[in-house]
């Protein structure tokens, strides 16, 4: 299984720890950056990771920021991406079971590394419970 990872500077530390853990567990990880804690414009790293998931180059994506909100917003602008923010195991599990999320956003300022690792493990091991149905967002006309 291939997993895309990406972060801004505020999520860099967790990205590196979780990337190492995933590789140790046998996952293939493609790192889209950033590569330090120097301030960056996060869409430059998040968008390519989301595109890799959307086009099938990667099976799933895990993205990191201070809160995860901005990263999820960028990812969700990519057609075919269903990125969920998880701040606990319950929200992570439900995002896979009920929403078939293919990307996960985590906030380094919101979780301990222990919680983040637990969320990632649960998220990757939770199956979509809804069969072939994938939720669709209807375009709302002004």
Tokens describing residue 1: 């299984």
98 is catalytic: yes
What is the pairing mode between strands 2-7 and 28-31?
parallel
CA distances from 113 to 14, 24, 86, 119 (A): 7, 16, 13, 10
Burial bucket for residue 135 (CB in 10 Å: 0-12, 13-18, 19+): exposed
User: Are residues 57 and 30 in contact, defined by beta-carbon separation less than 8 angstroms?
Assistant: yes
71 is catalytic: yes
Q: Which of 16, 28, 38, 71 is catalytic?
A: 71
Q: Which of 9, 28, 38, 98 is catalytic?
A: 98
- The residues annotated with a catalytic role in the active site are 71, 98
């Amino acid at each position: 299984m291939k997993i895309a990872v990406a972060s801004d500077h505020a999520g860099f530390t967790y990205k590196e720890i979780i990337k190492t853990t995933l590789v140790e567990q046998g996952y293939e990880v493609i790192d889209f950056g950033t590569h330090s804690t120097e301030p960056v414009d996060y869409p430059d790293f998040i968008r390519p990771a989301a595109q890799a998931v959307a086009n099938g180059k990667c099976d799933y994506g895990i993205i990191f920021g201070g809160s995860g909100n901005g990263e999820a917003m960028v990812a969700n602008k990519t057609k075919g991406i269903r990125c969920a923010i998880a701040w606990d195991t319950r929200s992570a599990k439900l995002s896979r079971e009920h929403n078939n999320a293919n990307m996960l956003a985590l906030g380094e300022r919101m979780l301990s590394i222990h919680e983040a690792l637990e969320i990632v493990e649960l998220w990757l091991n939770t199956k979509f419970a809804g069969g072939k149905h994938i939720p669709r967002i209807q375009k709302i006309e002004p």
